[in-house]
Structure 1
């Protein structure tokens, strides 16, 4: 799972949990923020990346702070560490040195893009 996937799945899960705790349906939340029910479903499942404006609107309706919807910095960093560990496991399991060199090269490209 990459960091973006982690972020949007975490956000969506928190929205879903808070919505349910407030006894709101997806349809009701959608009507309050002028979106379709399917858009809310996609946000909750992490498939849709809502704008900061939509996240703000959702926080207002759910009567919470935006920070309650987002993961902490520590959990976000932990996700990156887990990705690096998984990548290392895959790299270590490859028998072919050429493949390892290719993956190491790809990892260096990915790392440079993230920084």
Structure 2
């Protein structure tokens, strides 16, 4: 069941944020697990997302719910994270390389047992 939202603001901002993050509808669908046809419907305003899908979208797009609903002019509560903003501007190949690097850093920082 879809929750109530102002679909005009939502559809405009969803597409705007997706493009700012340099994602295609297909890439966003793959990252969220939401069918690409549903994302197309959300952006056209012909369908509204379920609360679960809305949450997946704002988490993956790293955007505040208030912004995507048109209630705020700030993309996140504390403004856009400069690191995330820079990463989003990189080509997909470079973002994946950085993601692998971060993963390798995380695996190298295991806590000693004690």
Fold shared per TM-score above 0.5: yes
Per the normalisation by structure 2, the TM-score is 0.55
TM-score normalised by L of structure 1: 0.55
State the Cα distance separating 1:7 from its structure 2 match: 1.1
Distance 1:10 1:40 in 2: 15
Please list every run of 5 or more consecutive structure 1 residues that lacks an aligned counterpart in the other structure.
74-115
Q: Over aligned residue pairs, what C-alpha RMSD do you find?
A: 1.9
**Stretches (4+) displaced over 3 A:** none
User: Which residue in the other structure is 1:34 paired with?
Assistant: 33
Partner of 1:48: 47
What's the CA shift for 1:57? Answer: 0.8
User: Shift of residue 53 of structure 1?
Assistant: 1.4
Structure 2: runs of 5 or more not aligned: 73-114
Asked if 2 retains the 8 angstrom alpha-carbon contact of 1:9 and 1:44, the reply is: no
Query: Which range moves more in the overlay, 11-20 or 28-37?
Result: 28-37
Counterparts of residues 1-115 of structure 1 (less than 5 Å) = 7-72=6-71
Q: How many aligned positions are there?
A: 69
* 1:23-70 C-alpha deviation (Å, 9 max, x unpaired): 000001011111221110100111111112111110111111111100
Computing the radius of gyration from Cα coordinates, the structure with the larger value is: 1
Deviation at 1:9, TM superposition (A): 2.2
Larger proportion of helix: 1
Give 3-state SS (helix, strand or coil) of 2:63's partner. Answer: coil
Q: Distance in 1 between matches of 2:11 and 2:36?
A: 14
